[in-house]
Amino acid sequence: MTAVLETRDHDVIVVGAGGAGLRAAIEARARGASVGLICKSLLGKAHTVMAEGGVAAALATVRPEDDWRTHFRDTMRGGKMHGSWRMAQIHTQEAPDRVRELEAWGALFDRTEDGRISQRPFGGHTHARLAHVGDRTGLEMIRVLQDRAIHSGVEVYMECTVIRLLVAAGRVTGALAYRRENGRFIVFRAHAVVLSTGGIGKGWQITSNSWEYTGDGHALAYWAGAELIDMEFVQFHPTGMVWPPSVRGILVTEGVRGEGGVLRNARGRRFMFDYVPDIYQGDYAETEEESDRWVTGDRTRNRRPPELLTRDDVARAITREIAEGRGSPHGGVFLDIASKRDPDYIKRKLPSMYHQFRELAGVDITTDAMEVGPTTHYVMGGVKVDAETQESTVPGLFAAGEVAGGLHGANRLGGNSLSDLLVFGRRAGLAAAEFARRQGAHAPVDQAECDAVVSGSLAGFGRVDGENPFALLAELQALMQRHAGIARDRSGLDAALTGLGALGRRAERASIPGAREYNPSWHTALDLRSLLVVTEACARAALERTESRGGHARTDYPNSDGALERMQVVIRRDGGAMTVRREPQPEIPPELMRIIREGV
């Protein structure tokens, strides 16, 4: 069978239209490339819209002493010294320009008294550093970028999902995708491909991620022969909703704590004072009074509240409080801002939290505490890329944003994601356009390969008595939640791998009822293929890392191991099987090491 396929040619295609993808598309277009932007959902619906707290950049509008070096230090220490120092350096040096550029493109950030961009404090950041728009910063960012992209001649393919990258002679030549609306396939020929597909959070039961976050970009890169790093490092955000059951996992922004919200257990104790780790001793307030003074504005003479520790530490503390029987009625802890801020302030600074709790949980956060608990939020790991260009180990294939690994190390700081998208989205778009310019004619499409992928993806239609893709997805999520969640050990991870193997075999027997037009059971069956790759990569890497660090906690290896600090777990496909190896990262140059050790 030879499928007749719609074919589109572009210099650069960008897969995924969140912040990183849009920024990459804008940059590639500005450099003269013809750009196709392919998104799984409608334009402007990507997970970036969910980002609430803000974008971290050392603009120094609120705290003049801030600069990239302090931001760099915070990022490296927050990543538990595991991150790529070069990416962290580029990120913190370029983030301020990227934020100012958004303003020039129409973004309306909240202001300081003297009319500059206001910045709010956030976990792990020494200074108030997050430019924000109330608690809908991501929406503002995506709208500005979306407008810029459509007005600059980027061609957008909405509700279009890439299922395979085309590779010839060791280099990327395009992609094969299907359109949801009609179920037809489409071939893109391109000189360069930028992956900006986001994360893998849909692999867990309790998650803040939407249906799209099935690790497509990670899996596409893996199938194309690229290397993945740090896949064991998944961020469990400390505060997701826990009640009612149907909203479990929905994100409660860290901005609540940034604005003064405090965490209490069932006994009313502010337990975070008990959990300040050694590396941060002396950096955080030691009494409620000191922390209150900091909240009400005296920030030079008081230290910040321990609720603003990094996410890995806060999530683990909450988990421990719950496990030891000090949790709230529905299995979380209490997050209280009502006793720290007046109702008008809360509604102005946290409008969507106010709305979300009122509508979905019947809770008024200006008078009552919220119940919160950890939720799967972000993957630090991803495609291994060159720090300068974001090029993967496969020529012509680039990755930016959550799908790329390295910047955040073992734990990401809040606010560093939005700036990551801008800084590295731009760099990826730039490098992709330049790479494309050096190429000649488009490589011919390998029709036989496309046919094989097409017929493989249609196999579930017409199969009766097969597996229900939704049920398989639910089983996979339960498996990962149980064995590869916030606390892991060898036997659990072994069980996860065995379970994933079995699910993989069953997924090959999925049956899809109905037609190809907008059929979610079919989409779920295809998404499962990506999820199976990324969850396996996560479990294998987690087994390999015999220590606890950042988002990765092993109950059988509860301590960090200095020998593994700069060791990276690299995953690659070899002869059809997943291989795992350890690789040391480049040394941190002494002048940067001095900044990290001694401060600025």
Q: Which of 230, 229, 168 is nearest to 193 (CA)?
A: 168
Return the number of the residue (8 or 191) whose C-beta is nearest other proteins.
8
Q: Is 237 a catalytic residue?
A: yes
Query: What is the C-alpha to C-alpha distance for residues 375 and 377, in angstroms, rounded to an integer?
Result: 6
From 31, 218, 237, 270, active-site residue: 237
Strands, DSSP E only, in 61-126?
A: 119-120
Return the number of the residue (371 or 391) whose C-beta is nearest other proteins.
371
Return the number of the residue (43 or 595) whose C-beta is nearest other proteins.
43
Return the number of the residue (47 or 264) whose C-beta is nearest other proteins.
47
Q: Is 257 a catalytic residue?
A: yes
Q: Which amino acid is at 428?
A: A
Alpha-helical (H) ranges within 296-341 are: 311-323
CA angle 360, 477, 208 (to 5 degrees): 35
CA angle 28, 33, 36 (to 5 degrees): 80
Alpha-helical (H) ranges within 105-178 are: 137-151
Q: How far is the CB of 100 from other proteins (least distance, A)?
A: 6
From 257, 523, 529, 572, active-site residue: 257
Interface contacts to other proteins, rule CB under 8 A: 41-47, 49-50, 100, 103-106, 108-111, 114-116, 133-134, 136, 139-140, 143, 147-148, 150-151, 156, 158, 181, 210-212, 243-247, 250-251, 352, 355-356, 359-361, 468-471, 474, 512-515, 517-522
Q: How far is the CB of 115 from other proteins (least distance, A)?
A: 4
Q: How far is the CB of 407 from other proteins (least distance, A)?
A: 24
Can you list the pairs that 171-176 forms with residues at least 24 positions away whose Cβ atoms lie under 8 Å? 171/394, 171/395, 171/396, 172/224, 172/394, 172/395, 172/396, 172/397, 173/396, 173/442, 173/443, 173/445, 174/13, 174/442, 174/443, 174/445, 175/13, 175/15, 175/38, 175/220, 176/450, 176/453, 176/454
Is the Cα dihedral 507, 575, 199, 493 positive or negative? positive
Q: How far is the CB of 210 from other proteins (least distance, A)?
A: 4
Q: How far is the CB of 267 from other proteins (least distance, A)?
A: 26
For residues 80 and 560, the answer to whether their CB atoms sit within 8 Å is yes
Return the number of the residue (183 or 225) whose C-beta is nearest other proteins.
183
Return the number of the residue (245 or 325) whose C-beta is nearest other proteins.
245
Q: Which of 154, 180, 186 is nearest to 429 (CA)?
A: 154
Q: Is 9 helix (H, G, I), strand (E, B) or coil?
A: strand
Q: How far is the CB of 382 from other proteins (least distance, A)?
A: 21
Active site residues: 237, 257
